[in-house]
Amino acid sequence: AQKITQTQPGMFVQEKEAVTLDCTYDTSDPSYGLFWYKQPSSGEMIFLIYQGSYDQQNATEGRYSLNFQKARKSANLVISASQLGDSAMYFCAMREGYTGGFKTIFGAGTRLFVKA
Amino acid sequence: DAGVTQSPTHLIKTRGQQVTLRCSPISGHKSVSWYQQVLGQGPQFIFQYYEKEERGRGNFPDRFSARQFPNYSSELNVNALLLGDSALYLCASSLNGQGPNEQYFGPGTRLTVT
C-alpha cells in the first residue's frame, strides 16, 4: 500500500543556510511520481518540485532540489540559501502509476522555521 | 491567468446539515481532485474527476459526493455533517490527473461544523 513518511515534525534553520527535509515512501508500483508542496499560514498549497520514478537525474527548481534515492525509497527536499519567507509547512506527496494513479497521498508534513 | 478558485472561503454549518463546496479549475485543466485537511495533518484524498467521470475515491463515507460539470468545474457535497467534518477542503486541478502532471491547488474552503 502507498505510504509517505515525514519524520521531522519541526525543523529550524538559520537564514541563508541550507536545510534538508526528509521524506520516505513505500509503494509496489514501479511507476510513480513524487511531489513537494509548501503550505504557508494562509493555507494555500504551493507546488515546489516533482520527481518521476524513471527520471535519471534529481529534480531541481531554483533554490529547491530533490535528493532522490530510489533504492532507499527516499525523496528529500533540499532548500538552499533559506529565506524568512520559507517558514511554512512542507508536504511530501506521491502519486502511483500512469493509468490508475489518480490518487495522491500526502505525508504528515514538516514545519520549517527560518531564523533571522 | 486565473488559478484554481474555490467558493465559499469560509463556511459555518450545524451538525446534520448539508453543504456544497465549489471549485473552478485552471483554464485547460480537465481534472479536479478534492482533499480534506484537518488541522495539523496532511491533506487526505477524497475524489478525483476527469472528463466528468469519477476516476478515484478515497476512504470517505457515502455522505461525501462530488460531480464535475461540462466546463470542468466541480462541486463537493457533504450530507449529514458531523463535527469531525470540520476541516480545510482543498480543490486541485491538473491537465489530466495522471503521471507527472502537476496539481495546482486553490485557496481552500474552511468548513466549521458546530
Give me the DSSP letters along A9-73: SEEEEETTS-EEE--EEE-S-S-EEEEEEEE-TT---EEEEEEETT-SS--EETTEEEEEETTTT
- Rounded to 5°, angle at Cα B75 from B73 and B79: 175
pLDDT digit string, tens, across residues A23-66: 999 988 888 889 999 999 988 899 999 998 888 899 999 999 99
Q: Comparing A16 with B100, which gets the higher pLDDT?
A: A16
Is the Cβ of B110 closer than 8 Å to some Cβ of chain A? Answer: yes
Peptide linkage before A9 cis (omega within 30 of 0) = no
Q: List, in order, residues 6 or more apart from A53 with CB less than 8 Å away.
A: A30, A31, A32, A33, A34, A70
Could you tell me the three cell numbers for A55?
527520471
- The cell for B16 is 446534520
Confidence of residue B1 (pLDDT cuts 50, 70, 90): low
Q: Which of A106, A36, A31, A7 is nearest to B44 (CA)?
A: A106
Burial (CB < 10 A; 0-12, 13-18, 19+), residue B4, is buried
- The whole-number pLDDT of residue A29 equals 84
A→B interface, C-beta within 8 Å: 4, 31, 33, 35, 37, 42-47, 50, 52, 91, 93, 95, 97-99, 101-109
* Rounded Cα distance, A38 and A94, in Å: 15
Region A93-113: mean pLDDT is 81
Q: How far apart are CA A114 and CA A14, in angstroms?
A: 6
Whether residue B105 and residue A50 make contact (CB cut-off 8 A), yes or no, is no
Chain A residues lying within 8 Å of B91, measured CB to CB: none
Nearest partner of A11 among A106, A65, A77, judged by Cα:
A77
Q: What is the pLDDT of residue B2?
A: 81
pLDDT (mean) for B61-75: 97
The pair phi, psi for residue B93, each rounded to 5°, is: -120, 150
Of A45, A102, A108, the CB nearest to B97: A102
**B41, B48, B88 ranked by CB distance to A43: nearest:** B88
Q: Are A66 and A77 within 8 A, CB to CB?
A: yes
Q: Around Cβ B69, how many Cβ atoms within 10 Å? A: 13
pLDDT tier for residue B90 given thresholds of 50, 70 and 90: very high
pLDDT at A102 over 70: no
B15 to chain A, minimum CA–CA distance in Å? 24
CB-based contact (8 Å) between B45 and chain A?
yes
